[in-house]
Amino acid sequence: MIYSLHMAMRGQTNHTVAAMRTALVGQPTLRFDAMSTIGPAPVERSVIESVTVKGREILVQWDDGIVLSTALRFSGEWHLYRTAEMWRKETYRARVVIEVEGWVAVCFDAPIVETYRQPDRKRHPQSGGIGPNISHPKTDLSGCTQRLLDYRYADAMISDVLMDESVMSGFGNVARSETLWAVGLSPFAKMADLSYEDCAVLIETASRIVRSDPDTSPSVYGRNGQRCMRCRGTVEFKIVGASRRNLYWCPDCQGRLDRRLIPSNLLQGDHTPTHPAELIYFSDAVAARKRFKIFDDLDKLG
């Protein structure tokens, strides 16, 4: 009997999570209330990135790194309503309210509700504190540029470094993909290959994007498998980093400083090209060799 009860509760939870994913993921947050909960809250208009379940614990994560954990145990449950729909339980029993365009998700009677930031860069001994908030109009962007240029790990990928709050804050995961796409830079470029001009353009573009109209449709984020709006290539998707965040990019027009395009024999020597023109040249050379090989094979086959 207890086993059947557990299975029934698990099935109900999975059904609720599936409905919440459909309604919430990819949507800007219009309202977030976590009653009697101490912890950080997602910033206004931050995008809900994922809704996951672990047993009877439901996790909601935003693109600014905030995670909401609700341990439902035997008493708690999530409800999903249309915006104007009447709730099926009393308002005083609500522990969390999340509202997006057209939908309201409410968590009732959960015994444990907490929010936290992942990763929490404030506790990292080498982080050097939180970087300037680039969403503020009066922020000195040159300071962020210098922090980016002086990043302590030369082999780190730029897509990971942009999410490090020791460089800058106020920058979400959606803005990461949009910024890299806007400047045509590969998310897999290494910090050692970036010039001061690269860093300055990245920071200025990032600041412009986070302060732009939140209702503007993303150019690349969430468009996996669709045509790139700039070059008509195909947008790709990958989960990257220790925090397992979503990354979207167009390989056709974001190949600049992407070392994966360089022939492996050059990577082993001392003359590895890093200039964008060199990378394009060698990338085209590799593609040309592949085309000639195909023609040669066709000739041999008669």
Lowest-confidence pick of 129-138, 139-148, 229-238: 129-138
Question: How far is Cα of residue 31 from the mean position of the Cα atoms in its chain?
Answer: 21
State residue 121's pLDDT score: 47
Pairing relation of β-strands 77-82 and 94-100?
unpaired
Q: What class has domain 124-260?
A: mainly alpha
Q: Tell whether pTM > 0.75.
A: no
Q: Which of 113-122, 217-226, 258-267 has the highest mean pLDDT?
A: 217-226
State residue 266's pLDDT score: 45
Q: Are 88 and 76 in contact (CB under 8 A)?
A: no
State residue 199's pLDDT score: 92
Lowest-confidence pick of 5-14, 65-74, 169-178: 5-14
For the chain, report the end-to-end CA distance as a whole number of angstroms.
Answer: 72
Question: Rounded mean pLDDT of 53-67?
Answer: 87
Pairing relation of β-strands 245-249 and 236-240?
antiparallel
Q: Which two tokens stand for residue 191?
A: 């910090």
Residue 27 buriedness (CB in 10 A; 0-12 / 13-18 / 19+): middle
Question: Rounded mean pLDDT of 215-239?
Answer: 90
Place of tokens 């962007």: 141
Q: Are 241 and 232 in contact (CB under 8 A)?
A: no
What pairs with residue 62 in β-bridges? 48
- Which of 162, 180, 161 minimizes the C-alpha distance to 236? 180
Structurally, at CATH architecture level, domain 2-117 sits in Alpha-Beta Barrel (3.20)
Buried b (16+ CB within 10 A) or exposed e, 210-249: beeeeeeebbbbbbeeeebbeeeeebbeeebeeeebbbbb
For 291, residues 6+ apart whose C-beta sits below 8 A from its C-beta are none
Q: Which two tokens stand for residue 114?
A: 């907490």
